Amino acid sequence: MSTDSIEARVQRSLYGARRWHPAEIAFWVLALAAFFLLPRQLLILNEIAILGLFALSLDLILGYAGIVSLGHAAFFGFGAYAAGLFAKHASADPVTGLAVGMSAAGLLGLLTSPLILRGSDLTRLMVTLGVALILGELANSLGGITGGADGLQGIMMGPVLGLFEFDIFGKVAYLYSLAVLFVLFVLARRIVGSPFGLSLRAIRDNPLRASASGVPLHWRLVAVYTLAAAYAGAAGALLAQTTQFVSLDVLAFHRSADLMLVLIVGGAGYLYGGLIGAVAFKLLQDVIASFTPQYWMFWIGLFLVLFVLGGRELIHGGIKAVVGRVARLGRRAST
């Protein structure tokens, strides 16, 4: 076997992974169909889309590059404040604001990335947590800019693309968030299916061997960390724009922790994990909390414990089986 054939095989497998699976198409059709089928739930759907994007961002670094983070809210919050302040002082156009939020968070990711290059997982947990805490305290003490504990108010958003005004039912908000999520998802999907994405997985599985094979460890990690930060910033910007408000808790620890849970529920390392986790987590929370507003956390906690103890394989196995069946059906239909 020559090296040529290995390259060809890798290329083939990458192309194969890049092809859209019928279950994936079904997922996005469902997401769009939800807009028409669940007109009463658009607000929570919008929140799910934002949380999904945020989880996607964590999946990029955790699932693909193996970087653990307990402070991902730092980028989420930074993007939210950047977008909020931009809307308040510069321009009310949502798409420009989104770009500003993404770039600001991406820049922060780039600047803080040297911190995650060193040390083990434990130090990374602490360092990322520390960055988020520092930002949280900064946002609190720079009350003149951020509004401090009262939150950033007076954000008035213009219509999306100059056409669609945000409405009280959350119609435009959901479609806007979903569109952004979809575009960024497709981009992420393309990136992880590229040789770059493959090298990330190599780093995750065995950094020593990856660097021995000539993968520039540091630059790859910096690149993906910056990218993930920009994604988290986009999620934050969406939240700021669709709720027209930014409060200190966008930087709070519980956001990073919840995000970890979302990814645990959905499973890391296949991009859809964050999205599925976000749907499951939010729906569970909403349904249980409307039954028992005081004790819903108990049930969520119980669910998570059981889930981690054993249900996870069951549920994921079930999903995989369904996906396999759909794929077979799709193949049969196409032949």
**Footprint on this chain of another protein (rule: CB under 8 A):** 40, 43-44, 46-47, 137, 140-141, 148-151, 153, 168-170, 239, 243-245, 247-250, 252, 254, 289-290, 293-294, 296-297
CB-nearer residue toward another protein: 47 or 93? 47
DSSP per position, 9-53:
HHHHHHHHHHSPPHHHHHHHHHHHHHHHH-GGGHHHHHHHHHHHH
CB-nearer residue toward another protein: 19 or 291? 291
Supply the minimum distance, in Å, between the C-beta of residue 289 and another protein: 5
CB-nearer residue toward another protein: 140 or 206? 140
Closest CA to 177 of 61, 280, 275: 275
Report the b/e string of 82-110 with b at 16+ CB within 10 A.
Answer: bbbbbbbeeeebbeebbbbbbebbbbbbb
Supply the minimum distance, in Å, between the C-beta of residue 131 and another protein: 16
Supply the minimum distance, in Å, between the C-beta of residue 209 and another protein: 42
CB-nearer residue toward another protein: 1 or 168? 168
CB-nearer residue toward another protein: 32 or 252? 252
Classify residue 90 by its DSSP letter.
Answer: T
Half-sphere exposure of 254 (CA within 13 A, CB side): 3
Closest CA to 172 of 275, 46, 48: 46
Structure tokens at 104: 């600001």
Half-sphere exposure of 46 (CA within 13 A, CB side): 25
Amino acid at position 188, single letter: A
CB-nearer residue toward another protein: 46 or 256? 46
Supply the minimum distance, in Å, between the C-beta of residue 298 and another protein: 9
CB-nearer residue toward another protein: 148 or 269? 148
Supply the minimum distance, in Å, between the C-beta of residue 320 and another protein: 33
Supply the minimum distance, in Å, between the C-beta of residue 237 and another protein: 13
Supply the minimum distance, in Å, between the C-beta of residue 301 and another protein: 11
Rounded (5°) CA angle 77-129-87:
10
Query: What are the two backbone dihedrals, phi and then psi, of residue 80, each rounded to the nearest 5 degrees?
Result: -65, -45
CB-nearer residue toward another protein: 52 or 193? 52
Amino acid at position 43, single letter: L
Long-range contacts made by residues 122-127, C-beta under 8 angstroms, separation at least 24? Answer: 124/67, 124/68, 124/69, 125/68, 125/69, 125/70, 126/70, 127/71
Supply the minimum distance, in Å, between the C-beta of residue 171 and another protein: 10
Closest CA to 67 of 18, 108, 128, 4: 128
